[in-house]
Structure 1
Amino acid sequence: MSLISDPWFYLVAVPGVLIVGIGKGGFAGGLGMLAVPLMALTVSPVQAASIMLPILCVMDVTGLKAWISTWNTSLMLRLIPGALIGVLAGYLAFEYVSDAALKLLLGLMAILFTLNHWSKRWRTIKPKKAGNDVVDRIQGAFWAGVSGFTSFLAHAGAPPLMMYLLPKQLDKRLMVGTVTIFFAIVNYVKLVPYAALGLLDATNLGTSLVLAPLAVIGVKLGIWLHDKINPVTFFRLMYLFLFLTGLKLAWDGATALG
């Protein structure tokens, strides 16, 4: 079986996959973008994203079993069309994005997402329930489209999606279920254009297969920890880690472009 043999890759990939699985399983996938930046420290961002996609699909199957009956139907109907357009845009733009530019983009997204979290801006916004007004539908389609685009390029679709969902202050279980179903649909759709671009080759798929058991373990840990761990402590440490990783990637991308 063909796979990556560099031990440094697995040193960052193993904890990255576990953390993403825990986040997807029990905490609405808040750190779903962490694994690709970590892997991108040792391989190209494109290869990191290619390896991670089948792993995310395994996570989605595991998560669906726990959250399939807990999600907001009206929100999903307004989010999915925009997300699919975003995925298509990501596919069309993919060949024009260099490794250096992708590292810079990935690093900046990680930094801005973390700074936004630390500033607690989302918590100061008044709750807004899902409705049928035109403005809310446009906002949902826009943020879902951005989510689909960034998800295609680097599996970093959570930040823009949360910009739309968090102000609604949904019930915790409803939030996790809705996000889980949303990204399950998006990730399985992404398999088609990823295959068309030749990104799911033997080496990437072999490496994904080796890491796949960690995906199941991580998601099940997240489901188990959902009501048992203090999410504030967990995310406080993980966001710090994400911020530092973002700084490293942004520096590498900026210096390569310069």
Structure 2
Amino acid sequence: MLALDWGFFAIAAPAVVFAGISKSGFGSGAAFAASSILALVLEPGQALGIMLPLLMVMDVTSLRPWWGKWHGPSALFLALGAIPGVALGAALYSVADADLFRLLIGGISIGFVAWQAGRGMGWIKGAGRALPDWAGGLAGMVAGFTSFVSHAGGPPAAVYLLSKQLTKGQYQATTVIVFWMVNIFKVVPYAFLGIFTWDTLRADLALAPFAVLGALLGVRLHHLVPERQFFLLTYVLLTCTGAKLIWDALT
């Protein structure tokens, strides 16, 4: 049985608040850091099972302030593409062991940091023009898969959305509505695969207030905190947790 003690809350509560801030205020890209942190002290399946309902609480909390501000066509193609991606993730989960998922979560964490560093240094260029609709479907499929195995669908979606030259508000609103739908898509396979348990649901009830707090803070901090400082902290967290998860998986 999962012990909901002070040690658990000392790790889980800040991670959930951080995820809420990222999800509702900074494009969702770094929200999966909470899953990476929890996977350091829990089985990967438990970490994923705990985070999905909390991410859905954050979705509902942050939908209202961003409602109707998204770019409709981009959201549609990403969401439709995510459906086969979620199915692929479910198929892999049914045959993989915990160490493979530690490796995947750790690799995605490190890959996210490397991708962002490459963009910041100019090594990775954004698309010179808007990507076609089929690219949105492909990005959605990759986002659906990475979201299923580590709640890390933000980077693939960002590649497509950044090519659309959206405003900061449009970009944020589009990620909110897309990952609200993607998270709904994941509920049924998570339930059938046994990722949800009574332990994860007990943890969700205890952590739900922190999810709401993080989402409300994110909406406010979207206009107050420079993205550079926020993501710098995220990159440090993801590098450390990703490296530890890869080490644990391989050893």
In the superposition, the TM-score normalised over structure 1's length comes to 0.91
**Superposition deviation, residue 157 in structure 1:** 1.0
Give the secondary structure class of the aligned counterpart of 1:169: coil
CA distance, structure 2, for counterparts of residue 69 and residue 213 of structure 1: 26
1:129 maps to 130
| RMSD after superposition | 1.6
Match of 2:168 in 1: 172
Q: 1:147 aligns with which of 143, 146, 155?
A: 143
Secondary structure at 1:198 match in 2: coil
The amino acid that maps onto 1:108 is G
2:47 counterpart residue number: 48
Partner of residue 245 from structure 1, selected from 237, 241, 244: 241
Distance 1:4 1:91 in 2: 27
Corresponding residue for residue 161 of structure 1: 157
Q: Distance in 2 between matches of 1:169 and 1:33?
A: 24
Q: Deviations over 1:130-180 (max 9, x none)?
A: 6xxxxx222211111011011111111112211222233311000000000
Q: How many residues align?
A: 249
- Whether contact under 8 Å (1:14, 1:214) holds in the other structure is yes
Unaligned stretches of 5+ in structure 1? 131-135
Structure 2 spans left out of the alignment, 5+ residues: none
Contact 2:23 2:29 in 1 (8 A): yes
CA-CA distance at 1:5 after TM superposition = 2.5
Which of 202, 220, 224 is the equivalent residue of 1:228? 224
Work out the CA distance in 2 between the residues paired with 1:254 and 1:123. Answer: 29
Q: Distance in 2 between matches of 1:122 and 1:206?
A: 45
Secondary structure of 1:124 counterpart: coil
**Identical counterparts, % of pairs:** 40
Deviation at 1:128, TM superposition (A): 2.5
- 1:98 deviates by 1.1
User: Which residue does the alignment assign to 2:92?
Assistant: 93
Instruction: Kindly indicate whether the alpha-carbon contact (under 8 Å) linking 2:118 and 2:124 is maintained by their aligned counterparts in 1.
Output: no
Closer, same or farther: CA 236–91 of 1 in aligned 2, 3 Å = same
Distance, in Å, in 2 between the alignment partners of 1:235 and 1:215 is: 19
